[in-house]
Structure 1
Amino acid sequence: MPDIAIKRPEDVGLSSARLARVDAWREAWVKSGRLAGAMTLVMRRGQVAHLGCSGHADLERGVPMTPESILRIYSMTKPLTSVAIMMLYEEGRFQLDDPITRFLPCFKDMRVFTSGSRGSYETVPAEREITFRDLLTHTAGLTYGMMHANMVDAMYRDNGVDFQTSPGSLAEVVETAASLPLLAQPGREWNYSIATDVLGHLVAVISGQDFASFLRDRVIAPLGMIDTGFHVPAEKLARFAANYRKGEDGRLALIDDPRDSRFNAPRAIASGGGGLVSTVGDYTRFCRFLLNKGALDGARLLGRKTVELMMSNHLRGDMAAMGQPRFSESTYEGVGFGLGFSVMLDPARAQIVGTPGECAWGGAASTAFWVDPQEDMAVILLTQLMPSSTYPLRRELRVLTYQAIVD
């Protein structure tokens, strides 16, 4: 990975003394034993003004966390998949309000769960078909089996609708999901879901190229994200971090050893919703691309107007107005959703410092990023602790980074 040049914070309107609070915060989390290691990066006006690493990427082997460490970014894959499908949108292959049955007839005649149990349940016909915008905004009526919140989640688990572990193909898992009832009427509710994995399959169907190859050739490679992919090659394995959870005794418990991880070989499914590994340098390049409105180092992947559309709220109000109070990688109050990530609408309602128009998302292993076009700023948090709801890392880091702005 190329070296990341660090500029003087004061040159980009940030305070060195105030950014030092980020280092102290990160070190405290690691020294407490609650995180094995962590990394933070702050970029403003195109310059990286802060990069800090603490602790270990692999606690058991004593491998330190460094900017070269490769980590599971899980749902931070979703924005890249959203870029891929929007590239096809720019080619005129579909419109946002087109039904996805143009390309995936398995989603015809969907039904919506109303009541009952696994063995006996009631449904009603879907009032309309699922559109591309529904998938991009998580309003398609799909869900995640991992939610453990309702009967449709349970049906996903019973039928193997899991894009991380299924031995089947991407097409097979999508078709299985289409055979099950929807959680809600399309367009009616915001529910975090497998929608972005379905978008990955649509990329493959529309382009005629398998999704992993399309993402590599059309997005990852042009952006120079040299360590980002759906598995860790053998020659990079020494840089791959371990993944942890909070154990019963409060101590870290290893859940995925980097030496025998399922990420060590090509996967049966390239999960557009959560399958990538990456580095802080690579994801910084993706953030630059978003702040540059679709271009990076001479490579233009999307037009400015398309990126602005993606960064606009597409919900009727915030997620609280349309969503159910269950797991997501964002708060609900004061936060909307664009085409691939959350969009800050009202920091006061969200009860957190921020800027209207700022876009963000996170991953299941407590990773996070946000880009703030108004402040020309991006922040990245990388660590490996599941689930992301274990500690309020993201909210604390938001305060610590925004308070460092002094211009």
Structure 2
Amino acid sequence: MKTNVLLIGLICGLFFPSCKETKTEKAPKEDFIVTDSVTQRIDATLKSFVDSGNIAGVSALIFEKDKEVYFNALGHANIAENQPMERSTIVQIYSMTKPITGTALMTLYEDGKFDLDDPLEKYAPEFANMKVYVGEDASGKPILEDANRPITIRDITRHTAGFPRSGNTPLGKMVDETDALNRNNTLTQMAEKMGKLPLQFHPGEEWLYGPCVDVQAFLVERISGVPYQQYVREHVLDKLGMTETRYFIPEGDRDRFASLYRRKGEGELERDTITYSNYLEKWPLTRGGSGLTSTLDDYMKFARMLVHEGSLDSVQILQPETVKLMATNQLADSITERHFLPSKGQVGFGIDFAVRTAPPANAEENNGVVGEFFWDGAASTLFWVDPVNELTAVLFVQLFPYDGIGLHKSFRDAVYGPISTNN
């Protein structure tokens, strides 16, 4: 494996100069993306969403070329209690947990514990001899066929494993009945239950967002022999000083925990009371795909580690060539079924990140720079890493359903300016 990493590093250094050691030379002020006028534009954009009543509160933090170039927090973390949104507010990050899990997994890759194209069943026999659901017979019995090939570790890092989703279909109902992601399950129990479900498609044929990253957390636990929560704490979070990125919020910090709101209509918000308890008790299931809470500064440490190609403040989490690999599109053109991924713009998918492969095709698409990698969360949170401009951005809001108001696009447009399709 070390040979693989060195070879990738040689290629990376030849063709991707940014993979070399972090630059220390600072750009002139006029070369910054986030200037004083851009700051004013971002402020006005975020304020307009709060003033409209479509979000309770919002906060954003941007670093560029190792400098903090933007911070603001507006509105409320809790409307009823008149609690302001602040820099130290704790939020539910949902799927922004996923890149952290992927990072933990790739530390084991660097240690030579697996190859990406290894069959998952090599380490997890729970996923051996998988079947694919192809319909039902006249009596309503599922029709299954053997998978064309085993699920690989690469599949679970790019959402091409074929794991089915919950829903109002015969296969979706089987997922619901199996209840693999019940928070009272351990990761091992989750894997045992998932391995008994048929796949929705043959591995590698489609991109379908689902529980792949939960399986990554299980794999970290299985390969390392250490409980996942302990492993990610020791190998990623604590090393970066991310002490407030947690599955469980202790009582002394709960006054900083933001409420999550459901948008019922224009300017109409209703506080959600269902998810809050997920973080006030210690559950057996420590999902890799969601479940963490964080603060702006904590998550920015993670983003800045990535823009520095694996290290921050002399602490090394991953090698530069590994970060480059994670930020490289892993989806072949033959994978045409891609669930909601096209809604993110001109992107592919790497290892637990969307990866921007082309400029926006029109002004309606999300703005961004080719080479950027990013992800978001169900409560409408967002982060991205822009290696071209050495820029990292974190946007926190607590809103269901996921960004139906165009907040992400408006924020991106405020940062980069109006989209030009002439490039």
TM > 0.5 fold call? yes
Counterparts of residues 2-401 of structure 1 (less than 5 Å): 12-116=32-136, 119-145=140-166, 148=167, 150-162=169-181, 165-247=182-264, 251-256=268-273, 261-317=277-333, 321-324=336-339, 326=340, 331=343, 333-349=345-361, 351-401=365-415
Q: Equivalent pairs: percent with the same residue? A: 34
Counterpart residue type for residue 122 of structure 1: I
Letter in 1 for 2:388: Q
Matched-pair contact (CA < 8 Å) for 1:137–1:190: yes
Q: CA RMSD in A?
A: 2.2
Q: How far, CA to CA, are the matches of 2:168 and 2:155 in structure 1?
A: 21
Contact 2:345–2:360 at 8 Å: present in 1 too? no
CA distance in 2 between counterparts of 1:262 and 1:67 reads: 22
Q: CA, structure 1 residues 313+149, in 2 after alignment: closer, same or farther (shift >3 Å)?
A: farther
Deviation at 1:387, TM superposition (A): 2.2
Q: Secondary structure at the match of 1:66?
A: coil
Report the TM-score when normalising by structure 1. 0.90
Name the CA distance, whole Å, in 2 between partners of 1:141 and 1:270. 22
Distance in 2 between residues matched to 1:91 and 1:180, nearest whole Å: 31
Aligned counterpart, 1:403: 417
Give the drift of 1:280: 0.4
Whether the 8 Å contact between 2:183 and 2:283 is mirrored in structure 1 is no
Instruction: Find runs of 4+ consecutive structure 1 residues off by over 6 angstroms.
Output: none
Distance 1:396 1:116, change over 3 A: farther
Indicate conservation of the 8 Å contact 2:248/2:281, yes or no: yes
TM-score by length of 2: 0.87
Deviates more, 1:100-109 or 1:310-319: 310-319
8 Å CA contact 2:372, 2:385 repeated in 1: yes
Structure 2 unaligned residues grouped into runs of 5+: 1-27
Partners in 1 of 2:108 and 2:175 — Cα distance? 29
CA distance in 1, matches of 2:379, 2:315: 30
Query: Following TM superposition, by how much is the alpha carbon of 1:96 offset from its aligned partner in structure 2, in angstroms?
Result: 0.3
Q: Max radius of gyration: which structure?
A: 2
- C-alpha displacement of 1:13: 4.5
Amino acid at match of 2:178: N
- Measured after TM superposition, the shift of residue 50 of structure 1 is 0.5
